[in-house]
Structure 1
């Protein structure tokens, strides 16, 4: 089995309820940000690392999004009749993603700084890591009020607690998914098993990050992108 990720899983199936009326006629990934669909900002990051394949899960109002992604060479998996959440969605995609670890990324954030996928690839140590998550210091996060999801230890291991906000991008091994009986579940269940093995690791992001999961995040993200173009 290969030890380094060659595929990217993009999570694009959510209902986007925090976006309120903006998602009445479209899925959240198709909301425009700085003149481009929100998902295109994530897709550009994925394409920069030239993976063997990019896969996206779809559920809510999928037709337009599926056409848009297919034109970019993305393999789309429609989750019906139920949305499977992140853990179930990843497991459902394994036959397409292939063996070994994969990148996963949320599609509702804007990044200013180095490509987070490239940073993870350079820091990945499969002999001691089950997963490597990008963490955002709260003072570098826009549109997201939180003290953090994880505490980063001096050895690079994560524990639950304040310190870093999960930025939605990681490298993760998938073997432990087979032991989770639920069909619909969050990746938090998988992380808990990795935490118990002291194999959940984190990487501090050096740039800025903006949560675009709510309407106010759009203007914040566009302002961030304008500053990055200066």
Structure 2
């Protein structure tokens, strides 16, 4: 099982509109706690935790003070998920890592423990997905479907939740600067090593203002 996690918290949060004028999206509160704290709770069993930051990074740094969580600051430019993960590798180590977006809330089993229970050595990535009917607050359709061997295929009614286990070897071959982990997934899919797993609970996208109330309602029903 991987023992390190990268939590993505560097984005501008533009879909949140006025809510991110004075704070980064990970510090917006849901059910009385910042989104970042919801994510940190899910990762509390892991010895190595890294949070990246760019927009209003000083607020994220202040929030993490005294937690034992390491900050990976992206300056002067934001690096997207792939570039941000590569930038943080010296802090994460060389083995497979968890990555977790911080703009979602979960109702059900711990998503990282669920991933770890299904991880195999023949996988390069294992993405946690949820069916559209359990993707609360999702705007738009799905991202993937699964074949008979559990490999991911682009397009379908499964929504990527922002949680995965990923081998990082391919990062070294990517161009310098910012890039999305989507580029690695495309290569892995071609090689048959991109796998998916269905989450048995509910998941809420809190990347837009309407997601806050939806997430709070979802948590209240647990």
TM-score calculated relative to the size of structure 2:
0.98
Match of 1:183 among 177, 180, 186: 177
Q: Residue 194 of structure 1 aligns to a residue in which SS?
A: helix
Q: Residue 77 of structure 1 aligns to a residue in which SS?
A: strand
Structure 1, unmatched stretches of 5+, are: none
Alpha-carbon displacement from aligned partner over 1:76-105 (angstroms, at most 9, x marks no partner): 011001000000000000000001100000
Q: Distance in 2 between matches of 1:81 and 1:98?
A: 24
CA contact (8 A) 1:57 1:76 kept: yes
Aligned equivalent of 1:56: 51
Where in structure 1 do 4 or more consecutive aligned residues deviate above 2 Å?
none
Q: Residue 93 of structure 1 aligns to a residue in which SS?
A: helix
Aligned length: 222
CA contact (8 A) 1:146 1:165 kept: no
CA contact (8 A) 1:212 1:218 kept: yes
Aligned equivalent of 1:199: 193
Match of 1:35 among 29, 32, 52: 32
Alpha-carbon displacement from aligned partner over 1:53-95 (angstroms, at most 9, x marks no partner): 1001100011121111232211001100100000000000000
CA contact (8 A) 1:138 1:146 kept: no
CA contact (8 A) 1:11 1:107 kept: yes
Aligned equivalent of 1:86: 81
RMSD: 0.9
How many Å apart are 1:159 and its aligned residue?
A: 1.0
Alpha-carbon displacement from aligned partner over 1:108-135 (angstroms, at most 9, x marks no partner): 0010000110000000002x10000000
Aligned equivalent of 2:124: 130
- Match runs of 1:1-230 below 5 Å: 4-47=1-44, 50-126=45-121, 128-228=122-222
Q: Pick which of 64-73 and 24-33 moved more.
A: 64-73
How many Å apart are 1:38 and its aligned residue?
A: 0.9
Q: Distance in 2 between matches of 1:69 and 1:195?
A: 36
Alpha-carbon displacement from aligned partner over 1:164-216 (angstroms, at most 9, x marks no partner): 10000000000011111242100000111111110000000111110000000
How many Å apart are 1:147 and its aligned residue?
A: 2.7
Alpha-carbon displacement from aligned partner over 1:15-71 (angstroms, at most 9, x marks no partner): 000000000000000011111011111110011xx2121001100011121111232
Q: Distance in 1 between matches of 2:100 and 2:75?
A: 21
TM-score calculated relative to the size of structure 1:
0.95
